[in-house]
């Protein structure tokens, strides 16, 4: 198994960070009013959902990129 230099991240995981960007730039996927949750149209709660999901994706990428190679 190849050892990595200290401080080097596994950069292939960084591609996952494009997921929230693509999800928010692909407007036809959320440009609608239904289904609504508690009277809040889909357009709004979809965007708020991605705020939380982006945090989780970012944290996951950090863990995956910086976890390998440690003893």
Check if the beta carbon of residue 20 is closer than 8 Å to that of residue 54. Answer: yes
Please report, rounded to a whole number, the percentage of residues in the chain having pLDDT higher than 90: 51
Q: Residue 4 above 90 pLDDT?
A: no
Model pTM score: 0.72
Q: In the prediction, which pLDDT does 71 show?
A: 43
Residue pointed to by tokens 């995981």: 13
Average pLDDT, the chain: 84
What's the CA gap between 20 and 25, in Å, rounded? 9
- pLDDT higher than threshold 50 for residue 45: yes
Neighbours of 34 (CB within 10 A): 7
Torsion of the alpha carbons at 62, 66, 64 and 58, rounded to the nearest 10? 10
């Amino acid at each position: 198994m190849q050892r990595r230099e200290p401080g080097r991240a596994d950069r292939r995981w960084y591609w996952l960070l494009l997921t929230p960007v693509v999800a928010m730039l692909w407007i036809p996927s959320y440009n609608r009013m239904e289904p609504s949750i508690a009277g809040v149209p889909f357009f709004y709660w979809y965007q708020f959902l991605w705020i939380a999901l982006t945090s989780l994706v970012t944290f996951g990428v950090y863990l995956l990129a910086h976890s390998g190679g440690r003893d």
